[in-house]
């Protein structure tokens, strides 16, 4: 991962008062790649994501996109994020089409915006004719598709997906993961895919970084990290996956 492009975190530190949530993290999401970020709650992975989009204060270090600082002001936002809870991330009073249109880059006619919203809904496999419905009429999985469409509307270079399937029922999770993979392949999307679920990350990501106590303890190609981990903490995580068949998994008392 020596490419200059993509999303780069360089020695990023985020502090809340006396607590250091992210401690000197360096990570790169190369163009067209999916990097999985795993770790437990409190490991700082979501804080890292929020820092990238300007929702958490960066105390030290730099976050760059294609070599330039990530813009956190103005209408043009090349870094987008999809949130965990689709019930909280869509305005309940706004039609889904309007929510998506809001994220479109400025300078388009009304008709162009409408056509673009329809294209995006089609892209995430929702009926474009339903742009006028309110989120309350959609299931969790459908809402998460709308949230994905909204992120794509901004024509982003990189999308951060923060635990986007963990609030969904397992039956819906699969469909959203399929969509993420399909979008990534079709659009050549760069993705920072954050999840505590190793099986989910394994399915989506080509690279995996493991975060623990605010620092990245291991990083590398997904198949290598998940089959032949170097760090003890990664091994511990792998052993804890339910139904895991890892050879060094401790036997459970019957």
96-155: contacts with another protein (CB under 8 A): 99, 102-103, 125-127, 130, 133, 137-139, 141-142, 145, 147, 150, 153-154
Of the pair 228, 236, the CB lying nearest another protein is at 236
Q: Smallest distance from the beta carbon of 48 to another protein, in angstroms?
A: 15
Of the pair 3, 249, the CB lying nearest another protein is at 249
Position 33 contacts another protein (CB under 8 A): no
Cβ-Cβ contacts under 8 Å for 223 (sequence gap 6 or more) = none
Of the pair 6, 156, the CB lying nearest another protein is at 156
Position 68 contacts another protein (CB under 8 A): no
With b meaning 16 or more CB within 10 Å and e meaning fewer, what string describes 37-62? Answer: bbbeeebbbbbbbbbbbeebebeebe
Total residues in contact with another protein, by rule CB under 8 A: 74
Residue that the structure tokens 């052993």 belong to: 239
Position 225 contacts another protein (CB under 8 A): no
Chosen residue from 1, 5, 26, 203 binding another protein by CB under 8 A: 203
Position 179 contacts another protein (CB under 8 A): yes
Of the pair 1, 179, the CB lying nearest another protein is at 179
CA dist list (Å): 250 to 125, 231, 244: 42, 17, 11
Beta bridge partners of 13: 60
Position 252 contacts another protein (CB under 8 A): yes
Q: Which of residues 35-64 bind another protein (CB under 8 A)?
A: 40-41, 53-55
Contact criterion met (CB below 8 Å) for 176 and 168:
yes
CB atoms closer than 10 angstroms to residue 214: 22
Q: Smallest distance from the beta carbon of 196 to another protein, in angstroms?
A: 6
Structure tokens that stand for 80 in this block? 């987008």
Q: Smallest distance from the beta carbon of 2 to another protein, in angstroms?
A: 25
Structure tokens that stand for 210 in this block? 């493991």
Chosen residue from 16, 19, 108, 178 binding another protein by CB under 8 A: 178
Residue 74: phi, psi to the nearest 5? 85, 175
Structure tokens that stand for 88 in this block? 């909280």
Chosen residue from 109, 171, 186, 247 binding another protein by CB under 8 A: 171
Structure tokens that stand for 42 in this block? 């409190």
Position 230 contacts another protein (CB under 8 A): no
Cβ-Cβ contacts under 8 Å for 147 (sequence gap 6 or more) = 82, 83, 86, 89, 90, 164
Position 240 contacts another protein (CB under 8 A): yes
Of the pair 109, 245, the CB lying nearest another protein is at 245
Position 254 contacts another protein (CB under 8 A): yes
Q: Smallest distance from the beta carbon of 226 to another protein, in angstroms?
A: 7
Which of 154, 65, 160 lies closest to 113, judged by CA? Answer: 154
């Amino acid at each position: 991962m020596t490419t200059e492009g993509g999303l780069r975190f360089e020695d990023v530190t985020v502090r809340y008062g006396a607590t250091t949530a992210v401690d000197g993290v360096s990570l790169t999401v190369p163009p067209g790649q999916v990097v999985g970020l795993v770790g437990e709650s409190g490991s700082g992975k979501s804080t890292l994501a929020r820092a990238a989009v300007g929702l958490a204060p960066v105390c030290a270090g730099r976050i760059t996109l294609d070599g330039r600082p990530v813009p956190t002001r103005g209408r043009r936002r090349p870094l987008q994020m999809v949130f965990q809870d689709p019930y909280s991330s869509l305005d309940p009073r706004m039609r889904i089409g309007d929510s998506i249109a809001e994220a479109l880059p400025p300078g388009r006619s009304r008709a162009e915006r409408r056509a673009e919203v329809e294209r995006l809904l089609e892209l995430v496999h929702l009926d474009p004719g339903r742009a006028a419905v309110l989120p309350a009429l959609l299931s969790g999985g459908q809402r998460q598709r709308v949230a994905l469409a909204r992120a794509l509307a901004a024509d982003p270079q990189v999308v951060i997906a923060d635990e986007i399937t963990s609030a969904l029922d397992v039956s819906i999770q699969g469909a959203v993961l399929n969509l993420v993979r399909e979008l990534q392949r079709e659009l050549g999307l760069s993705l920072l895919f954050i999840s505590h679920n190793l099986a989910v990350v394994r399915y989506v990501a080509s690279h995996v970084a493991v975060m623990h106590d605010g620092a990245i303890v291991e990083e590398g190609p997904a198949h290598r990290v998940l089959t032949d981990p170097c760090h003890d903490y990664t091994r511990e995580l792998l052993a804890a996956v339910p139904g895991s068949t890892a050879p060094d998994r401790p036997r459970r008392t019957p």
